[in-house]
Amino acid sequence: MQKKYFGTDGIRNRVGKGMISPDQVLKLGWATGRIMKERGESTVMIGKDTRISGYMFESALEAGFIAAGIDVLLLGPMPTPAVAYLTQTFHADAGIVISASHNPHYDNGIKFFSASGKKISDEIELAIEDVFDQPIEIVPSEMLGKARRIDDAPGRYIEFCKSTYSAKKRLDGLKIVLDCAHGATYHVAPCVFEELGAEIISIGVSPDGFNINQSCGATDLVALQQAVLEHNADLGIAFDGDGDRVMMVDEEGLVLDGDAILYILATASKGLITAVSGTVMSNLGLENALKERGVELHRTSVGDRYVMACLLENDLCFGAEPSGHVLCLNKTTTGDGIVAALQVLSVLVDSEQSLAQLTQSLDRYPQVLKNIPVESAQGLDENISLQERVAFFEGEMGDEGRILIRASGTEPLIRVMVEGKEVELVEKVAVELANLVKSEFS
C-alpha cells in the first residue's frame, strides 16, 4: 500500500506546509499514541535539533501524545542517534526526533524509532496514517499522559559514544577540527573527542535557531577544509544538523565521504569483513577497490533504512551512503556520525597512519551530481525522452560508467548522477541530462 504522509525518513516539509504545521503534528502525536496504546505501550521519548520551529513542534507532539494517554520524556536538543540510544536505555516504547536533518532552518520533520532504537517499520507507518485520518478522541482525564524532562541526557550519550572507541591508545597528540553545523551535536561532540584526549578546534557550535546547516556541516565542507589547513590539524570531522551523518577531511584538506569511510572500516578488518552495504549512489571506484580486497558491495536503494535492511538480512556489520550516513551495527543500532568517526579514528590510531594513507588505494571514479528543483517528479520513471537519452549515453559509456536519475525522498528535487572513467564525458552527459530534466519537469 502506498504511504500518504511518510517519506524515506519519517515526515518532512517546509514549516507551515503539509504535515509540518502545529495542528497536524499534534494530531500525528495523537495518532502515534493511539497505535502505541493498541500495542500495550505507554512511554515515548522526544528529542529535537536546534532549529527554532522545534519549540513549537515539541509542544504540539507532547500535547498529542498526552491526549492519547502516553507519557512523554523530553530530551531537548539531542542528536538523532542519541534519541535512538536513550530510547533503549530508558526502556521507552518509542523515540521521536524533531528534525529536518541536513535541510535549512525553514524545514522541519519528524523521525520515528522503535523501542530497540531502529527505524519503525512500514507496517507501523501505515497504521499511524490510517488512525491519523480519523477524528481525534481524547482519553478521559484520569488516563491522560504526563511529561517530564531528562536533564542528564547529554552526559549519558557522551559516555556511550566514548565506550565505542576501541583503539589501544587514546587520541592524545591528534589535533582535530569539529564542525557541528550549529546543530544537535554542538554540546556533545566536542566533549566526546576532548575527553578521549584530542586537541579540538570547534566550529559550528553556536546555534541561534536559524543557522543550522548554513554554510557549514556535512553538506558544506569549505569552512572545515579551511580550518584544517589554517590550524595545521591532523583531520576534520563534520556532522549534519541532527548528527546522523558524518564527513571527514584529511590533513591535506581533501574530503572523505561515506564511501571513503566505508572503505576504511571494511579494509581495516584484514579479511574478517567479506561484505558491506552501500547504495546505488556508491562510487564504482569503491566497488572495484573493495572487490580487489575480497569484499563484496551490496547495493540498495537510496536511504539509510534500505542499507540497514540489507545489513540485517545478510548479517553484515558496516554500511554507508556517500552522503555520510554510516552504519556500524557492531556498535549501535542506527546511523551515528560521532560513533562512525570514532571507528575511523580507532583504525587511524591503531595503524599509525593518516587519513590520506588509509585511503590511498581507493581510486574513485569522477562523479557529477546535479540537483534540479521541481514542483513534482511524477512521471519520472515513465518519461520516454529521458529513457531514450539515458539508454544512448549508457551505450556510449559501456561498463566504465553509470547513470542514475531519481527523485529525492527528502527534498523537491530530481537528482542526476553520472560517473565514469572519463571526466569530460561524465560532465557532458550530466549537463545534457540535467537540462533535459529541467525542460521536462521544471
Residue 5 lies in a domain: no
Query: What's residue 2's pLDDT?
Result: 82
- Give me the residue label for grid cell 590533513: 251
Same domain, 116 and 207: no
**pLDDT, tens only, 218-237:** 999 999 999 999 999 999 99
Structural domains in the chain (count):
3
Q: Which of 122, 151, 180 is the last residue of a domain?
A: 151
Q: Work out the average pLDDT over 318-347.
A: 97
Rounded to the nearest angstrom, the gap between the alpha carbon of residue 95 and the centroid of all alpha carbons in its chain is 16
- Please report, for the domain that includes residue 263, its CATH number: 3.40.120.10
Residue 343 lies in a domain: yes
pLDDT classification of 400: cutoffs 50, 70, 90: confident
HEC string of the chain equals CCCCCCECCEEEEECCECCECHHHHHHHHHHHHHHHHHCCCCEEEEEECCCCCHHHHHHHHHHHHHHCCCEEEEEEECCHHHHHHHHHHCCCCEEEEECCCCCCCCEEEEEEEECCCCECCHHHHHHHHHHHCCCCCCCCHHHCCCEEECCCHHHHHHHHHHHCCCCCCCCCCCEEEEECCCCCCCCCHHHHHHHCCCEEEEECCCCCCCCCCCCCHHHCCHHHHHHHHHCCCCEEEEECCCCCEEEEECCCCCEECHHHHHHHHHHCCCCCCCEEEEECCCCHHHHHHHHHCCCEEEEECCCHHHHHHHHHHHCCCEEECCCCEEEECCCCCCCCHHHHHHHHHHHHHHHCCCHHHHCCCCCCCCEEEEEEECCCCCCHHHCHHHHHHHHHHHHHHHHHEEEEEEECCCCCEEEEEEEECCHHHHHHHHHHHHHHHHHHHC
Residue 173 lies in a domain: yes
Q: In what order do the strands lie in the sheet with 401-407?
A: 367-373, 413-420, 401-407
Same domain, 21 and 95: yes
Query: What's residue 271's pLDDT?
Result: 80
Same domain, 328 and 373: no
Residue 256 lies in a domain: yes
Same domain, 251 and 334: yes
**pLDDT, tens only, 308-326:** 999 999 999 999 999 999 9
Residue 2 lies in a domain: no
Residue 3 lies in a domain: no
**pLDDT, tens only, 19-61:** 999 999 999 999 999 999 999 999 999 999 999 999 999 999 9
Query: What's residue 20's pLDDT?
Result: 98
Asked if residue 334 has pLDDT above 90, the reply is yes
Residue 124 · residue 95 · CB < 8 Å: no
Q: Work out the average pLDDT over 314-343.
A: 97
Residue 1 lies in a domain: no
Which residue from 73, 78, 111 is spatially nearest to 92, judged by alpha carbons?
Answer: 73
Judge whether 277 counts as a catalytic residue.
no
Q: Which of 101, 114, 277, 282 is catalytic?
A: 101
Asked if residue 410 has pLDDT above 90, the reply is no
Residue 44 lies in a domain: yes
CB-CB neighbours of 87 under 10 Å: 29
pLDDT classification of 378: cutoffs 50, 70, 90: confident
Same domain, 196 and 329: yes
pLDDT more than 70, % of the chain: 100
pLDDT classification of 171: cutoffs 50, 70, 90: very high
Asked if residue 1 has pLDDT above 80, the reply is no
Query: What's residue 246's pLDDT?
Result: 98
pLDDT classification of 430: cutoffs 50, 70, 90: very high
Structural domain span for residue 420: 367-441
Query: What's residue 356's pLDDT?
Result: 96
Q: Work out the average pLDDT over 259-288.
A: 93
pTM for this one?
A: 0.90
pLDDT more than 90, % of the chain: 88
Average pLDDT of the chain is 95
Same domain, 199 and 229: yes
Residue 96 · residue 61 · CB < 8 Å: yes
∠ at Cα 8 (207, 362), nearest 5°?
80
Same domain, 59 and 180: no
